[in-house]
A = this chain, B = another copy of it.
Amino acid sequence: MSGARPTGRLHLGHLIGVLENWVRLSERAETFFEVADLHAFTTGFADPQAIRDARDEMVIDWLAAGIDPERSVVFLQSAVPQISELHTLLSMIVPVSWLQRVPTYKDQLEELGPEIATYGFLGYPLLQLCDIAAFAGDTVPVGRDQLSHLEFGREVVRRFNHLYGPTLIEPQPLLSAFPAVPGTDGRKMSKSLHNTIDIADDEATTTKKVRSYITDPLKVRRNDPGRPEICPVFALHHYSNAARVPEIREACAAGALGCVDCKSELAETLNAYLRPVRARRAAFDRSRVNAILEAGSERARRVAEGTMRAVRGAMRLGDA
């Protein structure tokens, strides 16, 4: 089980860091991938249309990256009301202090400002647990920064099972490397930093963006020796041009490879790497997104309703 908030088109960082991992997992396990539109409201509640617009783009990028909606359950969080129901039910047993203690809460408050301090924002890690628990998710691919959310979620599951009997599953982390793909300014590639190479970019735009990368500032002339270990262009060669990495390292350090040539080679290999993804993206019939989400959400609702029957029963609620 995993998911992402619809915040816009996906970039190379998503493709390398997340989607390739999802595709691998989906080939050997039953997988649920969630378009987390409710989570997007925790920070983006003032612009619902932006969330709505980002939804289709994101799903198309997922499918282009190789997610198969027949094999995996690709669904819309808000179209599975059982997740929201579970959130309200579990809210009754979760101490506010547990939520306030989650490290990302205070960090994000400081970063994004007090106007995002909503009740829903405070409950974000609980809603994340509900995304997982509604489908009896046992394994969640996470980066190190998300481990505290999952640990919180396991605490909630243990408390529920202790109070009402064994019902929910403690989700386990599948620690994933999530390589930090450098953006055009050398910082981590991120939509909010406007330094991305997007899946939906065309090849000329990609080449132009690759040319704009800042390389080693001490390598001024073509024949100056470079320091590949600090160069974002060198880092990117690992993903699209892995076989050539040792030669490039040597040639750069020896002053035998200029940055212009090095970037040309990267642009070519990146475009080659992205070509099949972009081709699937271009060939995709956009009008199918809604039908895919509807079918996936229907499958998700059936599974989640089974979980909710067990949860309501354990809490002696509903028709229990």
Contact = CB atoms under 8 A, between A and B. Distances in A.
Interface string A70-110: 00000010110111110111011111110100000000000
Contacts of A84: 84-85, 87-89
Please indicate which of the listed interface residues A92, A94, A308, A312 has the most CB atoms of chain B within 10 Å of its own CB: A92
Contact of A316 (B51, B82, B163, B320): B51
Nearest to A39: B92
Interface in A107-140: 117-123, 126-127
A319 interface: yes
Interface stretch (A40-48, A258-266, A275-283): A40-48
A290 interface: yes
A163 B46 contact: yes
Contact of A94 (B76, B120, B127, B164): B120
Interface string A296-320: 0000000000001000101111111
B91 A37 contact: no
Helix, strand, loop or mixed for chain A's interface? helix
A51 B120 CA distance: 27
A208 interface: no
A88 B318 CA distance: 18
Nearest to A76: B318
A49 interface: yes
Contacts of A318: 76, 78-79
Contacts of A290: 319
A93 B316 contact: no
Contacts of A94: 118-120
A117 B96 contact: yes
A45 B79 contact: no
A90 B115 CA distance: 15
Given A46-B163, A84-B89, A92-B118, 12 more contacts: A38-B92, A41-B315, A45-B92, A52-B320, A78-B315, A79-B319, A81-B85, A81-B308, A84-B84, A87-B87, A94-B118, A290-B319
Complex A-B, nearest 3 residue pairs according to Cβ-Cβ distance, in ascending order: A91-B120, A84-B88, A92-B120
